[in-house]
Amino acid sequence: MINKLVVEALKPLKVPVSFQKYKGKENTYITFFNYLEQGEQYADNEEKATGFYIQVDVWSKNDYTEIVEKVKNAMKAAGFMRTSAADLFESDTKIYHKAIRFFIQMEGGQ
């Protein structure tokens, strides 16, 4: 459910998006994973809302500034709140890497 929401939010960016690993040949792509899932609200000993903490990683051999802004806007439009971000460089592959973390709370529990 949460993976589909992330993929659907990022699909309009026209950049490959995949869960955890990318196996294609594009120089710019996006991966994501759920680094924390936890109950956020409880009533009568039942989980009523679940928090999903998602990391979206933008990978590129070029300047990724524009795609990062598009990712932030797309995730916000899908109901996510950005919690942090970091610029990284993978020296072994010479790829620029932007890690962006988001949070969304979904009613109904899991």
pLDDT digits (tens, 9 = 90+) for 72-107: 999 999 999 999 999 999 999 899 999 999 999 998
Q: Which CATH number belongs to the domain containing residue 89 in this structure? A: 3.30.2000.30
Whether the Cβ atoms of residue 37 and residue 49 lie closer than 8 Å to each other: no
Residue of 46, 42, 51 whose CA lies nearest to 103: 51
Q: What is the pLDDT of residue 45?
A: 86
Average pLDDT, the chain: 94
Per the structure, the count of domains in the chain is 1
Domain that holds residue 64: 2-107
pLDDT of residue 29: 97
What pLDDT is attached to residue 109?
Answer: 54
> H/E element holding 11?
none
Residue with more model confidence, 108 or 103? 103
Burial class of 47 by CB neighbour count within 10 A (0 to 12, 13 to 18, 19+): middle
Rg (CA), the chain: 15
Place of tokens 């610029």: 87
Nearest to 9 by CA among 94, 91, 95, 104: 104
